[in-house]
Amino acid sequence: MIAECEREVNELHTTLKKTVEHRSKSLHQHEQWVRAADAFRNHQSPIDDLIDKCLKCGLESDGELRQFAFAYIDEDPYFFRSGYVLEDLLRRVKRLTLTTDEKRSIQRLILKRIETQALRNFRRICQLINKIDTDGFRTEVSNRSKSTDPNVKRRAEFALTYFPEET
């Protein structure tokens, strides 16, 4: 469901970007742009309601919403405003007592972002390291800080600053 939403929104956004370039060339192209803008603006996805419920009701007492939130974290979709949604969900996750699987989900997200690209919400994600810290996870991040890829190394070193001091 989340991947389908990602695909739909990205298609609508791509169409909008293509039509905006030519909107002033003719009346027909202007109408195409108006239709694309309306389609993008009025798009409704089944996940929109779930996201709204997560943000309004919280995740503490609703297993379905909690499951959706962690599915979203696992999927880590990339579409218009998806990063803001992830940040909002992470703010709610920060208040939870996490299961081992939930901790692992966030660990996978951090490792994925270290390996690929941090994006603007990487700092917000790393702020959860205190809640999800394990020896194995610290080792995985530390190993990536020795990468020959300077970008991976930089992101891993940044993430390491969020681990509690070892005693």
Helix, strand or coil for residue 145?
Answer: coil
- SS3 helix, strand, coil % of the chain, rounded to 5? 70, 0, 30
Which residue type does 44 have? Answer: Q
Q: Is residue 84 part of a domain?
A: no
Q: What residues contact 46, with CB distance under 8 A and at least 6 apart? A: 1, 5
Q: Is residue 58 part of a domain?
A: no
Query: DSSP strand E in the chain: where?
Result: none
Q: In the block, which residue shows the tokens 């992470």? A: 90
Q: Which helix (H) or strand (E) holds 42?
A: helix 27-42
Q: Is residue 129 part of a domain?
A: yes
How far is residue 139 from each of residues 107, 129, 162, measured CA to CA in Å?
Answer: 12, 13, 14
Q: Is residue 167 part of a domain?
A: yes
Q: Please count the CA atoms within 13 angstroms of the CA of 118 that sit on its side-chain side.
A: 16
Query: Which tokens go with 165?
Result: 């001091």
Q: Is residue 32 part of a domain?
A: no
Q: What is the pLDDT along the chain (167 residues), one digit of tens a residue?
A: 889 989 999 999 999 999 988 888 898 999 999 999 999 999 998 899 999 999 998 888 889 999 999 999 999 999 998 999 999 999 999 999 999 999 999 999 999 999 998 888 999 999 999 999 987 999 999 999 999 999 999 999 999 999 988 76
pLDDT of 145: 96
Query: DSSP strand E in 26-156: where?
Result: none
Helices 135-144 and 100-115, axial angle in degrees (round to 10): 0
Q: Is residue 103 part of a domain?
A: yes
Largest interatomic CA distance in the chain? 69
Q: Is residue 150 part of a domain?
A: yes
Q: Is residue 165 part of a domain?
A: yes
Q: How many domains does the chain have?
A: 1
Q: Which domain holds residue 152?
A: 98-167
CA 87 remoteness from chain centre: 7
